[in-house]
Amino acid sequence: MSERRSWVLVDGENIDATLGGSILGRRPQPEERPRWDRLLTFVTERWAQPSRGLFFLNASSHLPMPFVQALLALGYTPVPLSGDADEKVVDIAIQRTLRTLADRDDDVVLVSHDRDFVDDLAALVGGGRRVGVIAFTEFRSAELGAIPGLELFDIEYDAGAFDAPLPRVRVVPIDEFDPADFLR
């Protein structure tokens, strides 16, 4: 019998678009991008079992080989996809992967904000399987947050995927409030 594992499915363009368009207001610099290896480490440590990462890429126009090589070095399996301009190839592939994982006992973490995955994630929750979403909390689809039993993690605050604090406005639980954080 094989060891149970966690699958980390990364919708990289969704995270990148949110980071650049909604948080930074510009294209992120390399040092401002997530440290993707930290997501695998976070999931491995949080759920105390090995994790494997699939990083979905829209390669319809080109395959960014330096990035693909970096992903391989970090322990991810790149999933380069192509399709027609009107096809959301990354979303389609992630949905198919979530449906395939329904027939396995492995746990699943999706790294995305997208509501397109609500039904497929909801179908995975329960039966002893752990299912989670890692995203920027304030940009995560409310529908994802409404799935009972789904574990929710913040990509910056919980997973620690960034080297420096991002310019985010965060709702602070009163038990975590430290005035010194605001008196800088």
Count of domains forming the chain: 1
Q: Which domain holds residue 146?
A: 6-181
**Is 49 domain-assigned?**
yes
In tens, the pLDDT along 93-125 reads 999 999 999 999 999 999 999 999 999 999 999
The CATH number that applies at residue 127 is 3.40.50.1010
Q: How far apart are CA 161 and CA 165, in angstroms?
A: 10
> What's the pLDDT at 2?
60
> How many Å is the Cα radius of gyration of the chain?
17
> What's the pLDDT at 169?
82
**Is 1 domain-assigned?**
no
pTM equals 0.92
In tens, the pLDDT along 126-159 reads 889 999 999 999 999 999 999 999 999 999 999 9
**Is 15 domain-assigned?**
yes
Q: How far apart are CA 24 and CA 118, in angstroms?
A: 26
**Is 69 domain-assigned?**
yes
